[in-house]
């Protein structure tokens, strides 16, 4: 069934048909995107995850189109409307819009004005007038006057009523004509305007949307983020929107395509065309265009969110270090937790580093004691309320331990989650939050997978977009990140394991249960002893799991299906597998060409050799501590022209938000990101990236900070 789609997908994505066919086959066999991209390069022509996912997504859309096609054919057949010509048109429709245009005249109808006019026998009059042969409409209408005493609704009392009914039929017929709809759709695309006006009496209440109280721009050029902002304003009843071309152009298009001549019947048809556009075709196509603008805007916003999430998940980890974590607060103090190198909670308490002198003395004593007792290697401080003040206090203690502000977005969501209750069943929410902050510093990816990605705070209008599409895309990003880094089978949480290729929540839970009952896994092969984990799941997952045991390859990304090949390499090089991994000179004795086969090509062999040189390598950057400018803790401490270090917290299509340590992010507009023209902010910045910015504008009343990254302003 999928064969007919291969050529379509290959042409659209500029891929070779046999590579597309291979991906489709592997997907049908239960292959995951990470597995196919990593371990089936010969079959796919070295497609990366993006290309494999594109094939999968286009295949799904084509299958969905065919599903709708079959439903339409079935409906037409059941109602004896399926002529050979109509069947051919339905089968040849290239997209959903064309398919629905063909079906529209035959769709089961509610009682429209046109339908009621037909019930009164006025369709022959409508067709006669539409032919525009110069007849007198009123004269022709006299033949259709009737008085149905049994059913008054079917009566036609006079010629005006007859002509009104005929106009309704003509308007409806043209609104359902596929050629007319296609021509009007093209006009909407080419000449449509996105117009926004403030709702009557909402000027003050809708002040947030003041920028769009009088807005007008071409539909073709409106950026997604602006469209979503105005759609939100409309949903909140502050804005009135119109997404149409100029009315005179639209009605002119219809008149020119339908009206012939200058007689009375032609004038009546012209009136019907005006009614067709205003009452039927205009609203219908505006809804269609709205849906398309919203779809594109959603796609753009979801893409931005996905890119930001990837950067955040792949942020540099501190690694397995002993960490003291603080979740700061003013009134309630800072919740303190001590974590060992594996992230296990050892001790917790509350201190008041920004309290009275006595409270600060006690806090200092507690910190010194715990840092000494547990040989603490780093201090993690949440960047929310009182974060900068707590950081400043810790630095005054000269503990010779790095103190790092950690983005705590979503920590409160985690604290109240089922995952947190399962991990820390007897602890207060705030203590759980503190532990999560510490773990984020150690391994952002392992901790953030426990939180709904929408709660992490790196999106753009994430609550306004299609939630199903958003979840699907973000889940794919998490899966991609987890598998690109790899997962330690003996330390990973069930939440982290659930994102490993081929596993999912049930098998992840079974793995943890097996680990708890039988102890650590000694090999990848031992996975097959896990309940319900069969050969297919093992094939998909094994290469992304790491086990530090007797088999050195188990700690690498070399798939078990290639262990025999690596052992042959080691034998031919006159060494053990361990020596082949540890000694560069041993690897120089390997000629990859001699191991090329029909099943294993150079792409896979290159991957294997790269992995042997750095087994289990982590693709994430090395961790480096970051510090804000001392003494700059509040927006009141800023002034224009000030140059500051900052951390990018979020990237949107219109710029980037940067944390400069004052509890409120500043905006670097896209025009201020660089000295050159920037088409997309992601070309220049990403969440978590360290930047230097200059304050170019302040609005303390509204809490707005405008920043620039241009070198001239920074004096570089």
Closest by Cα among 13, 9, 646 to 388:
646
Residues 6+ apart with CB under 8 A from 661: 388, 405, 628, 629, 632, 633, 644, 646
With respect to residue 470, please indicate whether it lies within any of the assigned structural domains.
no
The confidence score (pLDDT) of residue 633 equals: 84
Q: Do 280 and 332 belong together in one domain?
A: no
Write b or e for each residue in 157-186: b if 16 or more Cβ atoms lie within 10 A of its Cβ, otherwise e: eebebbbbbbbbbbbbbbbbbbebbeebbe
Residue 716 — very low, low, confident or very high, per pLDDT cuts 50/70/90?
very low
Residues 6+ apart with CB under 8 A from 221: none
Residues 6+ apart with CB under 8 A from 673: 655, 656, 681, 684, 685, 709
CA distances from 119 to 123, 151, 175, 700 (A): 9, 11, 19, 67
Do 546 and 616 touch, CB atoms closer than 8 A?
Answer: yes
E strand spans, 66-220: 193-198, 214-218
Helix (H) or strand (E) holding 705: strand 704-708
* Strand partners of residue 347: 338
Write b or e for each residue in 541-572: b if 16 or more Cβ atoms lie within 10 A of its Cβ, otherwise e: bbbbbbbbbebbbbbbbbbbebbebbeebbee
Cα 509 to Cα 492: distance, rounded to the nearest angstrom: 11
With respect to residue 389, please indicate whether it lies within any of the assigned structural domains.
yes
With respect to residue 409, please indicate whether it lies within any of the assigned structural domains.
yes
Residue 201 — very low, low, confident or very high, per pLDDT cuts 50/70/90?
very high
Quick: pLDDT tens for 387-421: 889 998 999 998 999 999 998 888 888 888 888 89
The confidence score (pLDDT) of residue 430 equals: 86
Cα 157 to Cα 149: distance, rounded to the nearest angstrom: 11
Question: Domain with 342 in it: what CATH number?
Answer: 3.30.420.140
Across 39-46, average pLDDT:
94
With respect to residue 486, please indicate whether it lies within any of the assigned structural domains.
yes
Cα 556 to Cα 606: distance, rounded to the nearest angstrom: 14
Across 151-159, average pLDDT:
86
With respect to residue 458, please indicate whether it lies within any of the assigned structural domains.
no
Of 52, 82, 106, the position where a domain reaches its end is: 106
Cα 621 to Cα 623: distance, rounded to the nearest angstrom: 6
Give the total number of structural domains in the chain.
5
Do 351 and 367 touch, CB atoms closer than 8 A?
Answer: yes
To the nearest whole percent, how much of the chain has pLDDT over 70? Answer: 98
User: 0.75 cut: is pTM over it?
Assistant: yes
Q: Do 14 and 129 belong together in one domain?
A: no
Across 506-535, average pLDDT:
95
Q: Do 119 and 257 belong together in one domain?
A: yes
The DSSP secondary-structure symbol of 277 reads I
Question: Domain with 120 in it: what CATH number?
Answer: 1.10.3500.10
Across 195-215, average pLDDT:
92
Across 583-611, average pLDDT:
90
With respect to residue 694, please indicate whether it lies within any of the assigned structural domains.
yes
Cα 208 to Cα 702: distance, rounded to the nearest angstrom: 11
pLDDT at 458 over 80: no
Mean residue pLDDT across the chain = 91
Q: How many residues does the chain have?
A: 716
Do 598 and 590 touch, CB atoms closer than 8 A?
Answer: no
Residue 369 — very low, low, confident or very high, per pLDDT cuts 50/70/90?
very high
Do 493 and 446 touch, CB atoms closer than 8 A?
Answer: yes
Residue 2 — very low, low, confident or very high, per pLDDT cuts 50/70/90?
low
User: What dihedral angle (degrees, nearest 10) is formed by the CA atoms of 294, 295, 297, 300?
Assistant: 170
Residue found under tokens 């909140």: 236
Largest Cα–Cα distance in the chain? 105
Quick: pLDDT tens for 223-279: 998 999 999 999 999 999 999 999 999 999 999 999 988 899 999 999 999 999 999
Across 305-325, average pLDDT:
92
The confidence score (pLDDT) of residue 688 equals: 86
With respect to residue 451, please indicate whether it lies within any of the assigned structural domains.
no
The DSSP secondary-structure symbol of 591 reads -
Across 345-367, average pLDDT:
94
Residue 110 — very low, low, confident or very high, per pLDDT cuts 50/70/90?
confident
Cα 183 to Cα 177: distance, rounded to the nearest angstrom: 10
Helix (H) or strand (E) holding 345: strand 345-351
Q: Do 289 and 210 belong together in one domain?
A: yes
Do 359 and 390 touch, CB atoms closer than 8 A?
Answer: no
The confidence score (pLDDT) of residue 712 equals: 62
Cα 400 to Cα 496: distance, rounded to the nearest angstrom: 33
Residue 455 — very low, low, confident or very high, per pLDDT cuts 50/70/90?
confident
Closest by Cα among 312, 544, 347, 346 to 440:
312
Return the sign of the alpha-carbon dihedral for residues 106, 108, 114, 118: positive
The confidence score (pLDDT) of residue 269 equals: 94
Q: Are strands 690-699 and 643-652 parallel, antiparallel or unpaired?
A: antiparallel
Closest by Cα among 319, 393, 381 to 352:
393
With respect to residue 618, please indicate whether it lies within any of the assigned structural domains.
no
Of 86, 106, 126, the position where a domain reaches its end is: 106
pLDDT at 4 over 70: yes
Across 173-180, average pLDDT:
92
Of 106, 126, 155, the position where a domain reaches its end is: 106
Cα 122 to Cα 166: distance, rounded to the nearest angstrom: 6
Q: Do 487 and 366 belong together in one domain?
A: no
Paired tokens of 196: 């926004």
Comparing 15-29, 439-453, 702-716, the range with the smallest average pLDDT is 702-716
The DSSP secondary-structure symbol of 151 reads -
Residue 495 — very low, low, confident or very high, per pLDDT cuts 50/70/90?
very high
Quick: pLDDT tens for 459-483: 667 778 888 888 899 899 999 999 9
Q: Do 92 and 147 belong together in one domain?
A: no
Give Cα 216 to chain centroid, integer Å: 28
Do 101 and 89 touch, CB atoms closer than 8 A?
Answer: no
Q: Do 545 and 568 belong together in one domain?
A: yes
3-class SS string, 166-191: HHHHHHHHHHCCHHHHHHHHHHHHHH
Q: Do 63 and 190 belong together in one domain?
A: no
Q: Do 166 and 298 belong together in one domain?
A: yes
Across 590-607, average pLDDT:
89
Cα 371 to Cα 402: distance, rounded to the nearest angstrom: 12
Question: Domain with 643 in it: what CATH number?
Answer: 2.40.50.140
Q: Do 643 and 597 belong together in one domain?
A: no
Q: Do 284 and 188 belong together in one domain?
A: yes
One-character DSSP codes across 394-438: HHHT--SS-EEEE--TTHHHHHTSHHHHHHSTTS-HHHHHHHHHH
Cα 445 to Cα 487: distance, rounded to the nearest angstrom: 10
Long-range own/partner contacts, residues 346-352 (CB < 8 A, 24 or more apart): 346/374, 347/374, 348/427, 348/431, 348/434, 348/435, 351/326
Secondary structure class of 89 (helix, strand, coil)? helix
Across 56-81, average pLDDT:
92
Closest by Cα among 544, 537, 547 to 500:
544
pLDDT at 715 over 50: no
Question: Domain with 53 in it: what CATH number?
Answer: 1.10.10.650
Do 56 and 47 touch, CB atoms closer than 8 A?
Answer: no
Q: Do 438 and 508 belong together in one domain?
A: no
Domain coverage including residue 95: 3-106
Kindly report the number of other CB atoms within 10 A of residue 80's CB atom.
7
């Amino acid at each position: 069934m999928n064969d007919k789609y291969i050529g379509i997908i290959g042409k659209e994505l500029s891929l070779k048909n046999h590579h597309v066919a291979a991906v489709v086959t592997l997907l049908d066999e239960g292959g995951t995107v990470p597995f196919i991209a990593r371990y089936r390069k010969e079959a796919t022509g070295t497609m990366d995850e993006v290309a494999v996912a594109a094939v999968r997504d286009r295949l799904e859309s084509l299958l969905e189109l065919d599903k709708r096609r079959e439903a339409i054919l079935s409906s037409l057949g059941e109602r004896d409307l399926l002529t050979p010509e109509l069947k051919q048109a339905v089968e040849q429709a290239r997209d959903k819009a064309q398919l629905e245009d063909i079906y529209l005249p035959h769709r089961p109808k509610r009682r429209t004005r046109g339908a009621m006019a037909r019930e009164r026998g006025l369709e022959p009059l409508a067709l006669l007038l539409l032919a525009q042969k110069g007849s007198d409409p009123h004269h022709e209408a006299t033949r259709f006057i009737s008085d149905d005493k049994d059913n008054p609704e079917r009566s036609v009392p006079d010629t005006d009523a007859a002509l009104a009914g005929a106009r309704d039929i003509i308007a409806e017929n043209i609104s359902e004509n596929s050629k007319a709809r296609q021509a009007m759709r093209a006009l909407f695309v080419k000449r449509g305007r996105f117009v926004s006006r403030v709702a009557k009496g909402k000027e003050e209440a809708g002040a947030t949307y003041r920028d769009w109280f009088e807005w007008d721009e071409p539909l073709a050029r409106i950026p997604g983020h602006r469209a979503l902002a105005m759609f939100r304003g409309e949903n909140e009843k502050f804005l009135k929107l119109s997404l149409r071309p100029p009315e005179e152009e639209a009605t002119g298009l219809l008149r020119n395509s339908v009206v012939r001549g200058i007689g009375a019947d032609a004038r009546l048809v012209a009136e019907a065309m005006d009614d067709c556009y205003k009452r039927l075709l205009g609203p219908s196509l505006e809804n269609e265009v709205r849906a398309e603008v919203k779809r594109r805007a959603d796609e753009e916003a979801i893409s931005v969110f996905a890119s930001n999430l990837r950067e955040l998940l792949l942020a540099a980890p501190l690694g397995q270090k002993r960490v003291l974590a603080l979740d700061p607060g003013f009134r309630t103090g800072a919740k303190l937790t001590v974590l060992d190198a594996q992230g296990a909670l050892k001790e917790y308490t509350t201190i008041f580093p920004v309290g009275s002198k006595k409270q600060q003395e006690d806090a200092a004593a507690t910190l010194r004691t715990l840092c000494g007792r547990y040989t603490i290697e780093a201090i993690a401080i949440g960047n929310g309320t009182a974060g900068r003040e707590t950081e400043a206090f810790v630095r005054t203690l000269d503990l010779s331990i790095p103190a790092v502000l950690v983005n705590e977005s979503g920590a409160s969501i985690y604290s109240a989650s089922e995952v947190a209750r399962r991990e820390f069943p007897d602890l207060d929410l705030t203590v759980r939050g503190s532990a999560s902050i510490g773990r984020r510093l150690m391994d952002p990816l392992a901790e953030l997978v426990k939180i709904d990605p929408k709660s992490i705070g790196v999106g753009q209008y994430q609550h306004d977009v299609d939630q199903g599409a958003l979840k699907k895309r973000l889940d794919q990003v998490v899966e991609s990140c987890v598998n690109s880094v790899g997962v330690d089978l003996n330390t990973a949480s069930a939440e982290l394991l659930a994102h490993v290729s081929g596993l999912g929540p049930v098998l992840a839970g079974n793995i943890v249960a097996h680990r708890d009952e039988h102890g650590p896994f000694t090999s990848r092969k031992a996975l097959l002893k896990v309940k319900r984990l069969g050969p297919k799941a093992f094939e998909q997952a094994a290469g992304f799991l790491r086990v530090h045991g007797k088999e050195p390859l188990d700690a690498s990304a070399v798939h078990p299906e290639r262990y025999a090949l690596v052992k042959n390499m080691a034998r031919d090089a006159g060494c053990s597998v361990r020596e082949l991994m540890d000694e560069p000179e041993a690897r120089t004795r390997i000629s990859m060409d001699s191991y090329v086969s029909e099943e294993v090509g150079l792409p896979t062999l290159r991957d294997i050799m790269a992995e042997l040189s750095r087994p289990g390598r982590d693709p994430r950057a090395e961790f480096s501590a970051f510090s804000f400018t001392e003494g700059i803790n509040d927006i009141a401490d800023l002034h224009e022209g000030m140059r500051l270090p900052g951390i990018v917290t979020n990237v949107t299509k219109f710029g980037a938000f940067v944390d400069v340590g004052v509890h409120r992010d500043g905006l670097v507009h896209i025009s201020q990101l660089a000295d050159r023209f920037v088409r997309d902010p992601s070309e220049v910045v990403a969440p978590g990236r360290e930047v230097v910015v200059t304050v170019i504008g302040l609005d303390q009343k509204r809490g707005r900070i405008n920043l620039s990254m241009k070198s001239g302003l920074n004096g570089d």
